[in-house]
Amino acid sequence: MMEQKVTLSFHDLEIGYKDQPLSRPINLSLQEGELVALMGLNGVGKTTLFKTILKEQSALDGEIKFRGSSLELNDLQHSVGIVYTERTHIFGFTVRDMIAMGRMPHTNRFGKLSKRDISIVDSYVRELGLEEIEHKQIDNLSDGQFQKVMIARVLVQETPVILLDEPTAFLDMKNKVMIYKLLKKIAKEQKKTILVSTHQIDFCADYCDKALLFKDKALIEKSAQELSSTDFD
Amino acid sequence: MTISKKIIGLLILLLGLSFLGIALGSVLVPFEEQFDLIFNLRTSRTVTAIIAGAGISVAGLLMQTLFRNPLAGPSVLGISSGSTLGVALGIFAINLFGISSFDQKMSISILAILGAMAVTFLLLFVSKFLKKSNTLLIVGLMVGYFVSSVVNVFSFYGDKTNLQSFVYWGFGSFSKEINFEVLWYYFTPILVLIFLIFLIQKQLNLLLMGEKYAVSMGLDYKKTRLLIILIVGLLVGIITALCGPIAFLGIATPHLARNFIKKSDHRFVIPFTLLMGACLGLICDIISRLPGLDGSLPLNAVTSFIGAPIVVWIIFKNKMA
């Protein structure tokens, strides 16, 4: 079996707010090629963990490492990408414009796309089957199509780690399946570490490699199939 | 129509309007007597309309991008009111010192800039505590009312001559200053600021995605926000000091530009906003002094007359009603 490399690791990480710590020290690591579900009831700290990884808020204690070195804010755009639940409305942005935004961390001061940038955008447009809607305005997309576009955007950013904050919250069953299949394929084929916060135990069992469960202020690792609804009591 | 054709079309329109602006006036002057008039009054007025129209419009674009709100603009957010307060202070207080006319103009201009910056920083401070950017517009309106009340108190106690010059200033005009030597003190910083805006187009595009996405793609949000506020405060302050408060152009022009090219990408929206702002500035100026009118109409009345319906159209178009 091929050796897997650790991308993101938490070392005695404590998250939350000064007067309200949300976790005991977390010691876990995520590997490349893994699709990992982040689960737990509302308010237990899933979003706070994301915010802490993205440096939107500082850790109470401990450290987050990326490939063994401390994760710094000015390297974030090259190491961790994110897709949020909410839709972003931008007038006059086509699907292609939105996907190309993912290349911004790689462009010059004026944001001009190089030939390489354009070919990367092209390849992900094809990869995710977005050719037909490439020139459609993003405000005219269905929720499922929009999430797919945002996933294409984060892939184009070429970060080894991708976070998705409840990416299927507003989607119907067909689109949920489509998104999870896509994530699994990307994780395997492109050796990405994908951490998805979700409430969907069934999808977790079907598609994820493992689950991180927030319970009683602890973040514990479980096999995806091991989870049951009693974990959320 | 392609983008380049649209640019060429606008440039031709701008040239035509400039010619019209120089040729037309509310007073008919025989040709041989026109030369001095053209090169002093009408040329300076036309150039001012172009630069101020472009500047105030692009300032509006920056506010709309920063606050991610289609109704943001210098006049709505109270930034112009900040300048007005600065000018009121200048006219009612500084006149007393009896300093020379040039120094007085410059002092008033600096006060207008400080007033605009003060309000912009206040908005920035308040925006940290507000979740909805629409609330910020209401705060901006309230700042406007608050400043108006202070200005009213000044006016009440001010002497008659000062009051008259302040009211006249408030009408707005592109010909408050006609001496090119003095005008360059205003034009140079405006042009430098516009140049700076071209340098931050990538950051502006990232801001379209919202703060969280922008930061995740490497934007230094605090630095960019401060830079935008400084640019907007300075632009609005300088333009207001030169022309008086110009209503609605700042909100309306960026929408016209985006709708014309069907894009939000700042690499295109910035030049189109500048060009359309310049054209609108000229159109408003030409309307304000159509032949047959007795003197010039207040510029502010004309910009509101044209801009207000556009803003209402934006509200309906974005289904905000």
DSSP states of A138-204: GGGS-HHHHHHHHHHHHHHTT-SEEEEESTTTT--HHHHHHHHHHHHHHHHHHT-EEEEE---HHHH
Tens-place pLDDT, residues A166-180: 888 878 888 888 889
The pLDDT, as a whole number, for residue B292 is: 65
Nearest CB partner across the interface for A111, out of B201, B209, B212: B201
Nearest CB partner across the interface for A107, out of B202, B215, B263: B202
> In the predicted model, is pLDDT for residue B32 greater than 70?
no
Nearest CB partner across the interface for B202, out of A74, A92, A104: A104
Nearest CB partner across the interface for A105, out of B205, B212, B218: B218
Q: Contact B244/B175 with Cβ under 8 angstroms?
A: no
The pLDDT, as a whole number, for residue A221 is: 86
What ipTM did this prediction achieve? 0.89
The pLDDT, as a whole number, for residue B61 is: 96
Query: How many Å apart are CA A71 and CA A229, to the nearest integer?
Result: 34
User: Which helix H or strand E contains B29, and what residues bound it?
Assistant: none
Interchain CB contact of A177 with B (< 8 Å):
no
Tens-place pLDDT, residues B14-29: 999 998 888 776 555 5
The pLDDT, as a whole number, for residue B214 is: 92
> In the predicted model, is pLDDT for residue B297 greater than 70?
yes
The pLDDT, as a whole number, for residue A103 is: 95
Tens-place pLDDT, residues A23-75: 888 899 999 999 999 998 888 888 899 999 998 888 889 999 999 888 888 88
Tens-place pLDDT, residues B157-210: 888 888 888 888 888 888 888 788 888 999 999 999 999 999 999 999 999 998
CA distance A231 to chain B (A): 31
Which residues have C-beta within 8 Å of that of residue B166, sequence separation ≥ 6?
Answer: B87, B88, B91, B92, B155, B158
DSSP states of A12-31: EEE-EETTEE--SPEEEEEE
Closest CA to B206 of B194, B222, B195, B217: B217
Interstrand relation of A20-21 and A26-31 (parallel, antiparallel or unpaired): unpaired
> In the predicted model, is pLDDT for residue B321 greater than 50?
no
Interchain CB contact of A104 with B (< 8 Å):
yes
Kindly list the residues from chain B whose CB atom is less than 8 angstroms away from the CB atom of residue A195.
none
Whole-number Cα distances in Å, A147 to A124, A162, A180? 14, 14, 11
Interchain CB contact of A113 with B (< 8 Å):
no
Nearest CB partner across the interface for A97, out of B210, B217, B265: B265
Alpha helices in chain B (DSSP H): 3-23, 31-37, 43-67, 79-93, 101-127, 133-157, 160-171, 180-199, 201-208, 211-216, 221-243, 249-261, 266-288, 299-317
- Give pTM, 2 decimals: 0.88
- Are A77 and B218 a contacting pair at CB < 8 A? yes
Structural tokens at position B238: 């300088």
Q: By CB neighbour count within 10 A (0-12 exposed, 13-18 middle, 19+ buried), where does A18 fall?
A: exposed
Whose structure tokens read 């510029």? B299
Interchain CB contact of B222 with A (< 8 Å):
no
Kindly list the residues from chain B whose CB atom is less than 8 angstroms away from the CB atom of residue A102.
217
Query: How many Å apart are CA B224 and CA B208, to the nearest integer?
Result: 13
- Are A104 and B213 a contacting pair at CB < 8 A? no
Nearest CB partner across the interface for A111, out of B202, B212, B213: B202
Number of cross-chain residue pairs from A and B with Cβ atoms under 8 Å apart = 64
- Are B263 and A110 a contacting pair at CB < 8 A? no
Kindly list the residues from chain A whose CB atom is less than 8 angstroms away from the CB atom of residue B209.
88, 90, 101
Query: How many Å apart are CA A180 and CA B71, to the nearest integer?
Result: 39
Interchain CB contact of B216 with A (< 8 Å):
yes
CA distance B73 to chain A (A): 17
Structural tokens at position A207: 């598609």
Backbone angles phi and psi of B80, in degrees to 5: -65, -35
DSSP states of B221-259: HHHHHHHHHHHHHHHHHHHHHHH----SHHHHHHHHHHH
> In the predicted model, is pLDDT for residue B31 greater than 70?
no
Residue to substitute from B216, B255, B259, B263, interface A, most A β-carbons within 10 A: B216
> Which position has the higher pLDDT, B310 or B132?
B310
Each residue's pLDDT tens digit in chain A (233 positions)? Answer: 456 788 899 999 989 887 788 888 889 999 999 999 999 888 888 889 999 999 888 888 999 999 988 888 888 899 999 999 888 888 889 999 999 999 999 999 888 999 999 999 999 998 888 999 999 999 899 888 898 899 999 999 999 999 999 888 878 888 888 889 989 999 999 899 999 998 888 888 888 999 998 888 888 888 877 777 667 66
Closest CA to B55 of B174, B197, B194: B194
CA distance A56 to chain B (A): 8
Query: How many Å apart are CA B7 and CA A54, to the nearest integer?
Result: 41
The pLDDT, as a whole number, for residue A197 is: 93
- B220: nearest CA partner in chain A: A74
Interchain CB contact of B209 with A (< 8 Å):
yes
Kindly list the residues from chain A whose CB atom is less than 8 angstroms away from the CB atom of residue B262.
92
CA distance B195 to chain A (A): 13
Amino acid at A200: Q
> In the predicted model, is pLDDT for residue B320 greater than 60?
no
Q: Contact B264/A92 with Cβ under 8 angstroms?
A: yes
- B210: nearest CA partner in chain A: A88
Nearest CB partner across the interface for A84, out of B212, B258, B263: B212
The mean pLDDT value of chain B amounts to 85
Tens-place pLDDT, residues B76-99: 778 888 998 988 888 887 664 455
DSSP states of A171-186: --HHHHHHHHHHHHHH
Structural tokens at position A36: 């990992």
